[in-house]
Amino acid sequence: MARSWTRLHEYLGHPPEPLTYDMVAEAVQRKLAESDDLDWKEMVPVESKVKGEWNEFSKDVAAMANTRGGLLVYGVSDAVELVGVDLDEIDDKKLGQWLRVHLQPVVTGVSYLKLPATDGSGRDVFVVDVPASETAPHFLYGWQQKDKDKTTFNAPFRHRDDTAYMPEHQVAAAYRARFSRQRAAEAALGEHVQHTTALIAGEKDNPAAWLVVVARPTRPLPRTVPAPTRVEAKYVLAQSVKRAERALSRAVPLRRLLGPQLFPDLLDNNPSRGLRRWVDTNMLVPTRAASRRGVLVELHHDGSVVTAVDLSHKAPSDGMPGSTVLPVSCPALINTVFESVALAHEHRLALRVDSSIDLRAVLTILPEADKAVRLAPVVIELGRLAIAEWGRQPKKVQPADGELAPFIDDEALAAAATELAELLLHQFGMNILGD
C-alpha cells in the first residue's frame, strides 16, 4: 500500500489520498523541482546483463530509505517534462528481487504504482514509493567500471535534489540513530505492558491468566495530529473483527484449538475517552461488572494499541503434586492475538501511519500468585474444552515479540499473527498449524 501523503500532495494542496496520474501530471506542468524526497526519472530501470554490476535502481531506493523516504517517478525528464514510460516493460517482482540482492539490510515496504495516462497522451507514469526506513543505514554493493572494476559497498542518501554517499562519521551517526530508535521502542512497549498489568491487578482479586498484547508504530504520530473521533474508533473496532476473521480462516485450519471470537461478544463497541486514547472495556465501571471474560482495549492517538484479555478457563484438574493449576484457554489466546494484530493494522490504516508496527504479547498471572501456580493449556477435544494433559504446564511464559510490516495484505497479517501466537503456544508444547 502506497502512502497517502507525499511531496506531491503537499505541493498541490491535496488532502491525504491515493496518488493519481492527474496529480503527477499537474506537478510536472507546474514544474515541481526535485528534492530530497522526490526524484524525477526519465528511463525505466533496466537489468544489467553483467552479474554483480552496480544497480542504479537499488541505489535510488536506498538513498530515499536512508533519508526520509520519498517518490521515484519514472516517465519525467530532468527538465521536468512528461515523456512517459512503457508500463508493460516493468516487472515489479524483478525490482523487488534487485533490492533483496543488492541491498543490506533489505529495504521493506516499497510500493510500485503503475499510473496509465488519463489524458489520452499515452505517456504513462511509473511511481516507486519508498518509506523512511527504521533499519537505516542501507548499504548498496556491486562493482563499477568507473571504480576500475572494484567492488564497492556504500550507503547512499539524498541531499536536496542529489544523491550522495555517506562518509564514515555519517554512517556512525545513522547506526546510533537506529539503535536509539530501537531502545526507545523497547522502552515504550515495556511501559505499556507495565501500565496495563498494574491496572488489571488493581481491578481483580483472584489470580487469573491475562494476555496483554501491545502494538506500537515504530514512528508514532506526533501530538499535533488530530485525535480520531469516537465514530472513527468504533469503525476501527468493527473493521478489525472482519479482518481478524479473514486472517483466522487463512491461518488456523485445525479447529480443535479454535473457539468463538472475543471482541464482538465481550465489548459494547462504544469506546469512551481516556488519556489520549479511546478505551473500550467490560471492566472498570462497577455497574457494568459481569462474570464474563474480562477484556480491555485501548486505541491510542499515536497509533499504539493495547489489548488485555482474561484467558482463564474454569476446567477441573488435579494438576501436579504440590501445585495449583490455572487453566489457560488456547482458543481464546489465538483469537486474542489475531484480533489484536488486526486491530493494530486497522488503527494504523485509519490514522494513515506508514511505518511498521512492533508487537509484544505477555501472558502472566494477575494479581501475582504463589510461585507454585502452573499454567495449564486448555484445548477443544471431542467437542468440549478440556485441559490438554499432554501439554506442558509452565509456571511462567516468556514474552513474545513480533513485527507487522508497513504495507501488507491479509495473508501477511495472518502470518504475523500466527508467528506471535505460536511463540506463546510453543511454550505449552503445541502448535497452531500442527507438526
Q: What is the pLDDT of residues 9-54, one digit of tens each?
A: 889 998 878 899 999 999 999 999 999 999 999 998 877 655 556 6
Domain with CATH 3.30.950 in the chain: 7-166
State how far the Cα of 153 lies from the Cα of 141, in Å rounded to an integer: 4
Residue 181: pLDDT band with limits 50, 70, 90? confident
Q: 346 to each of 15, 22, 226, 265, 403, how far by Cα in Å?
A: 20, 28, 17, 19, 15
Q: Is 352 helix (H, G, I), strand (E, B) or coil?
A: coil
Average pLDDT over residues 303-332: 78
To 10 degrees, what angle do helices 92-102 and 56-67 make? 70
What is the helix (H) or strand (E) element at residue 339, kind and residue range? helix 330-351
For the chain, the 3-state helix, strand and coil shares in percent, each to the nearest 5, are: 35, 25, 40
Kindly state the percentage of the chain with pLDDT values over 90: 55
Looking at residues 345-366, what average pLDDT do you find?
89
Return the number of other C-beta atoms located less than 10 Å from residue 224's C-beta.
Answer: 5
CATH of 7-166, one of 3.30.1540, 3.30.950, 2.40.30, 3.30.1380: 3.30.950
pTM, to two decimals: 0.67
Task: Return the bridge partners of 279, or none.
Answer: 272, 298
Cα distance between residue 412 and residue 397, in whole Å: 26
367 and 310 Cβ atoms separated by less than 8 Å: no
Could you identify the residue written with the cell 501466537?
Answer: 421
C-alpha cell at 104: 543490506
Model pLDDT, residue 290: 59
CA 252 to chain centre: 21
Query: What is the arithmetic mean of pLDDT over 198-206?
Result: 83
pLDDT of residue 256 exceeding 50: no
Q: At residue 172, does pLDDT exceed 60?
A: yes
Contact between residue 355 and residue 131 where contact means Cβ atoms under 8 Å apart:
yes
Cα distance between residue 406 and residue 278, in whole Å: 23
pLDDT at 370: 63
Rounded to 10°, the helix 410-425/330-351 angle is 140
Residue 244's Cβ-count burial label (10 Å; 0-12, 13-18, 19+) is buried
Mean pLDDT of 198-212: 86
Distance CA 341, CA 336 (A): 8
Statement: residue 435 has pLDDT above 70: no
Question: Judging by beta carbons within 10 Å of its beta carbon (0-12, 13-18, 19+), is residue 130 exposed, middle or buried?
Answer: buried
Residue 369 has pLDDT above 70, yes or no: no
Asked whether the beta carbons of 196 and 296 are under 8 A apart, the reply is yes
Tell me if residue 188 falls in helix, strand or coil.
Answer: helix
pLDDT single digits (tens) 304-318: 999 999 999 874 444
Section 267-290 average pLDDT: 83
What is the pLDDT confidence band of residue 263, given thresholds at 50, 70 and 90? Answer: confident
Query: What is the predicted pLDDT for the residue at 317?
Result: 46
Q: By percentage, how much of the chain surpasses pLDDT 70?
A: 88
Q: Where are the alpha helices (DSSP H) in 30-86?
A: 56-67
What pLDDT sits at residue 3? Answer: 72
**Averaged pLDDT, 164-176:** 92
What are the angstrom distances between the C-alpha of 344 and each of 110, 167, 193, 240, 377? Answer: 20, 38, 15, 8, 26
Q: Is the peptide bond before 45 cis (omega within 30 degrees of 0)?
A: no
Cα 20 versus chain centre, distance: 25
- At residue 39, φ and ψ (nearest 5 deg) are -135, 110
Give the range among 61-70, 122-131, 213-222, 364-373 with minimum mean pLDDT.
364-373
